[in-house]
Amino acid sequence: MTTNITETRDLIPRPVRESQSEMNEIVLPNDTNPLGALLGGRLMHWIDMAAAMAAHRHSHQYVVTASIDHLDFWTPAHVGDLVVLKSSVNRVFTTSMEVGVTVWVENYLADETRHVSSAYLTFVAVDTAGRHLKVAPVIPETEEEKRRYQDAGRRRELRGAERERRKANVR
């Protein structure tokens, strides 16, 4: 249940493009399993960081990760590969926002780029005392951004229903 929602100083709507962020990492031996493939947990950390950048850029607030949706790893990345993570805010609700992240791997020797993973994360804006803060609306401008905006609404409903079901199961 939402409590302690605080008004932020800056609730001016901002376009999606202002939140767009990119993070690049070279896969090093310490990031990999014994087969030289990138660890799923390391990639999840990078996804969280890349998504947080977009959430910060949009909200101009501290944020915490509320949830990460289902993650598929479609293709492995290996030592020496360049991992490119692109993120942007898909939609803002009240104190939360959905961020989308796509992950690509570039092998500069083979000159090929592969889609590794995509993820949706929800962040909640908070102040230093942990009170939830309202987030400025986001403005989708391109057709792709408008589609993601619509889809984010559908995903929020599914997430909420699933959360209620899980809560009921642990009582």
Integer Cα distance of 15 and 72 in angstroms: 28
Q: How far is the CB of 129 from ligand COA (least distance, A)?
A: 12
State which of residues 64, 71, 84, 139 lies at the interface with ligand COA (CB under 6 A): 64
Stretch 108-147: interaction string toward ligand COA, x if CB under 6 A: --------------x-x-------x---------------
Measured from the CB atom, is 90 or 95 closer to ligand COA? 95
Q: Give me the count of residues in the chain.
A: 171
Strand residues in 10-162 grouped as ranges (E): 14-15, 21-26, 62-68, 82-92, 96-107, 112-126, 138-139
Contact 60, 138 (CB under 8 A): no
Measured from the CB atom, is 77 or 135 closer to ligand COA? 135
Integer Cα distance of 162 and 145 in angstroms: 25
Cα within 13 Å of Cα(18), Cβ side: 15
Measured from the CB atom, is 39 or 49 closer to ligand COA? 49
Measured from the CB atom, is 17 or 163 closer to ligand COA? 163
Q: How far is the CB of 21 from ligand COA (least distance, A)?
A: 17
Using CB under 6 A, list all residues that contact ligand COA. Answer: 1-2, 64-67, 93-96, 122, 124, 132, 159, 163
